Structure 1
Amino acid sequence: MMLPTHAVIGLAVATPLLVLSPDLAPAALTGVLAGSLVPDLDLYAGHRRTLHYPTIYTLLALPLALVAVIVPTTVSVGVASVVVGAAIHCHADRFGGGLELRPWEGTSERAVYDHVRGRWRRPKRWVRYDGAPEDLLVLVSLAVPLLVVLEGPFRAAVAVALAIGAVYVGLRRRLATLAPTVFGYVPKRLEGYVPDRYRT
């Protein structure tokens, strides 16, 4: 799934705290938003492996969430929310396509790396690829209610995610065609940071 969808899924998971614990909701929303974005910071350095830990994040999220329930402070809720957001992101990547430049071709069986099992988890392709029309459908179906419920910077984050997601979906296939050309001009000293899939 595309990054805007991950961000909005995270916000949707934390939004019930607006009713359940309004004082802690900002910490939860901020934490889960950050956690939903963090795994994709590995985009140019071992994507879906370097910062993607589906099992480890999940195993950490359970006790952290329990601590946040027992000792509900902005810190405990914020920390738990970061890890929960990262865990959800990693599991959501399995529902999309494989790790390849043109995932609609379905040639990769690598969705996300599981460090505990020491192997790649296979893509389920429920959302065929990041930026697919169904990816936009997930984004819109979650973003529209959030635009009504959330306020301030969180509403703005949803609006930005929606705008970026819509543009990305419109350009997704063209970007795959342009990538080898664009990344062909990268200076030699930076070539090590360009994933192999962008050069073929």
Structure 2
Amino acid sequence: MAPTHVAMSLALAAAVVFVAPAAAPLVVAAALVGGVFPDLDMVVGVHRRTLHQVEAFVVGSVGFGAVALLTGDPLAAAAATGFVAAALHCAADYLGGSSEARPWEARTDRGVYVRSLGGWVEPRRLAAYDGSPGDLALAAALSVPGLLTLGDGPRGILLASLAVGVGYTLVRKRVPQLSGRAPAVTAALVALYSVLVRRR
């Protein structure tokens, strides 16, 4: 679910900020954008296929990561973080449940589309399904690094995102049509963070 992707992205940002504290605002923003970007294919295209471009994300991660390491450029560090967050998003979808209205029924083997492997890769179902109690527990665990190390803006985003995750988990099986619909609050959280960063 989106809160898990947000938490994972901000955990990544916390690690990058530890190494490159001067790039913190850019890194946090890039991590959030990269972490939620692939799910825009719920709106345009085929979910977990159109914008889940794992190969492109890996190339971007390596390229911008190399530039960041060689030059120390904060923009390159932010770009690398965004690409890594997007790649991690795809990996999380692969490790989670299938992309379907009732993923707990496991009627499809569509985890994520990987072009270099020639099509859909079967999900591992380590988190049973999007919005499962295990998914929520993972989101909570992944929130810890960001809550402990990042500033007030990212902490607020994490807490709000976890609140959305709790609500989503409570209604997930009762409202199957929620599958494939990213909570609109994710975009609102990114916008809120941008406002908070500008006020500093």
Does the residue aligned with 2:113 lie in a helix, a strand or coil? strand
For the residues of structure 2 that align with 1:15 and 1:144, how far apart are their CA atoms? 10
In the alignment, which residue of structure 2 is the partner of 1:165?
165
For the residues of structure 2 that align with 1:98 and 1:41, how far apart are their CA atoms? 17
Change over 3 Å in CA distance of 1:134–1:27 after alignment to 2: same
TM-score normalised by structure 2 residue count: 0.83
Q: How far does residue 74 in structure 1 lie from its aligned partner after superposition? A: 2.4
Deviations 1:120-160 (A, max 9, x none): 01100000100011001111112244223221221111111
For the residues of structure 1 that align with 2:129 and 2:139, how far apart are their CA atoms? 13
In the alignment, which residue of structure 1 is the partner of 2:6?
7
Say yes or no: does 1:49 pair with 2:43.
no
Change over 3 Å in CA distance of 1:179–1:27 after alignment to 2: closer
Deviations 1:110-129 (A, max 9, x none): 01111233300110000010
For the residues of structure 2 that align with 1:117 and 1:21, how far apart are their CA atoms? 35
Does the residue aligned with 1:97 lie in a helix, a strand or coil? coil
* Superposed counterparts of 1:65-104, under 5 Å: 65-104=65-104
- Equivalences, count: 178
In the alignment, which residue of structure 1 is the partner of 2:151?
151
Does the residue aligned with 1:24 lie in a helix, a strand or coil? helix
* Superposed counterparts of 1:125-136, under 5 Å: 125-136=125-136
In the alignment, which residue of structure 2 is the partner of 1:40?
39
TM-score normalised by structure 1 residue count: 0.83
- Farther off after superposition, 122-131 or 18-27: 18-27
For the residues of structure 1 that align with 2:178 and 2:135, how far apart are their CA atoms? 21
Q: How far does residue 106 in structure 1 lie from its aligned partner after superposition? A: 0.9
Q: How far does residue 82 in structure 1 lie from its aligned partner after superposition? A: 1.3
1:65–1:77 CA contact under 8 A, matched in 2: yes
Higher relative contact order (CA 8 A, sep 6+): 2
For the residues of structure 1 that align with 2:90 and 2:69, how far apart are their CA atoms? 23
Change over 3 Å in CA distance of 1:19–1:61 after alignment to 2: closer
For the residues of structure 2 that align with 1:145 and 1:63, how far apart are their CA atoms? 26
Q: Which runs of 5+ in 1 are unaligned?
A: 181-200
2:36–2:86 CA contact under 8 A, matched in 1: yes
In the alignment, which residue of structure 2 is the partner of 1:140?
140
Deviations 1:63-88 (A, max 9, x none): 21111111222211121111111111
Say yes or no: does 1:175 pair with 2:170.
no
In the alignment, which residue of structure 2 is the partner of 1:191?
none
For the residues of structure 2 that align with 1:51 and 1:74, how far apart are their CA atoms? 25
For the residues of structure 2 that align with 1:59 and 1:21, how far apart are their CA atoms? 21
In the alignment, which residue of structure 1 is the partner of 2:60?
60
Q: Which runs of 5+ in 2 are unaligned?
A: 180-200
Does the residue aligned with 1:16 lie in a helix, a strand or coil? helix
Structure with the greater alpha carbon radius of gyration: 1
For the residues of structure 2 that align with 1:57 and 1:145, how far apart are their CA atoms? 23
Change over 3 Å in CA distance of 1:78–1:19 after alignment to 2: closer
